[in-house]
Amino acid sequence: MHNVKANGADIPALGFGTFRMPGEDVLRIVPKALDVGFRHIDTAQIYGNEAEVGSAIAGSSVSRHDIFLTTKVWVDKFRHDDFIASVEESLKKLKTDYVDLLLLHWPKMDVPLAEQIGALNEVRKAGKVRHIGVSNYSTQLMADAVALSDAPIVTNQIEVHPYIDQSKVIAAAKETGMSITSYYAMADGKVFDDDVLKEFGAKYGKSVAQIVLRWVIQQDGLIALSKTVGEKRVVENFDIFDFEISTADMQAISALARPNGRIVSPDGLAPVWDN
C-alpha cells in the first residue's frame, strides 16, 4: 500500500467503499477488509450505513487512528445549520469524534457554494474533520471551491474507469495539489466482459478487477475505491501492490475511453460536465 499526498492529507491509495451496501453486509465485510490491510474506509450520509461502518470499525482490531475515514454530506443538508447538525449526527453514528475527510457529495447549487464551503471550513476548524473535499465536481466548480475555501481542498471524488476520459479534471486537480478519488472503477460490471482487460489479466496473472484497480492507483495522484461483499474478492482487491502495469499497457487501458462512457449523471444533481 502507498499513500497519496494531497494538500497536507496523506490518503491510502486504495480504499474500501460501502456504496449500496446494506448494514448487515457492512458489519460482516468491513472488519474483513481491515484484517486484510485496508486502512481507508469510505461511506456517506445517503448510504444509510454510517452506524454500521462505525460499529465495524469500533469492533475491529485496528485502531481508529490508523484508519482514514471518509463520509459525505448529502445535498439536503447544505444549509449552514443543517450542515453542522448533520456532521454531528454522522460522528455519532460513526462512533468517532472526527472524520479524516468530509466531502460535499454532489454540487447542488440551490444553496450558495460559499455557504457550503464555509460550513466545511467551520467543522474543520472545530476539529470535527481533519480534511475537506468535494465530489462530482467539474473543473470550474473545483476552481470555485478552491477560491472560496480558507483550508485546502484535498480531493475531488469522481467517476473513473477505463471507459471515461477524466484527464481534464485530473490535470486541474493536480494544478491545485488536489488528489482524485475514483469511484465506479468497474464501470458497473462492464470491465469484466472486456477482451482487452481480460488479455492484460492473463498477461500479468491478475484478475480484471486487479488490473483496473492497479491502473487507477498507478496514475499519479489517484486513489481507488474498491467495493465488494465477498470475502475472497476483498483479498483479491487488496492484492494489487506486487506488480506494475507497463506504460504502454497503461495507455492502452486509457484508450478504451469513449465519448459516451459516463455512467453516473443523476438529473438535478450532476453539474455541467467537462467535455
**pLDDT tens digits, 19-66:** 999 999 999 999 999 999 999 999 999 999 999 999 999 999 999 999
Instruction: Give the confidence band of 244 by pLDDT, cuts at 50, 70, 90.
Output: very high
Output the pLDDT for position 275. Answer: 82
User: How much is the mean pLDDT over the chain?
Assistant: 97
Q: What percent of the chain shows pLDDT beyond 90?
A: 99
Which segments of 136-207 does DSSP mark as H helices, in order? 139-148, 167-175, 195-204
Output the pLDDT for position 258. Answer: 96
Based on the residue annotation, tell me whether 47 is a catalytic residue of this protein: yes
Separation of alpha carbons 82 and 104, rounded Å = 13
Average pLDDT over residues 222-235: 96
Tell me which DSSP letter residue 164 carries.
S
Output the pLDDT for position 29. Answer: 97
152-193 residue pLDDT tens: 999 999 999 999 999 999 999 999 999 999 999 999 999 999
134-153 residue pLDDT tens: 999 999 999 999 999 999 99
Q: Is the predicted pLDDT of residue 109 greater than 90, yes or no?
A: no
105 is an annotated ligand-binding site residue: yes
Decide: 73 and 45 in contact? Cβ < 8 Å.
yes
Output the pLDDT for position 1. Answer: 83
Separation of alpha carbons 92 and 50, rounded Å = 9
Say which of 47, 137, 163, 183 is annotated catalytic: 47
Which residue ranges form the domains of the chain, and what is each CATH number? Answer: 3-254 (3.20.20.100)
Separation of alpha carbons 109 and 245, rounded Å = 40
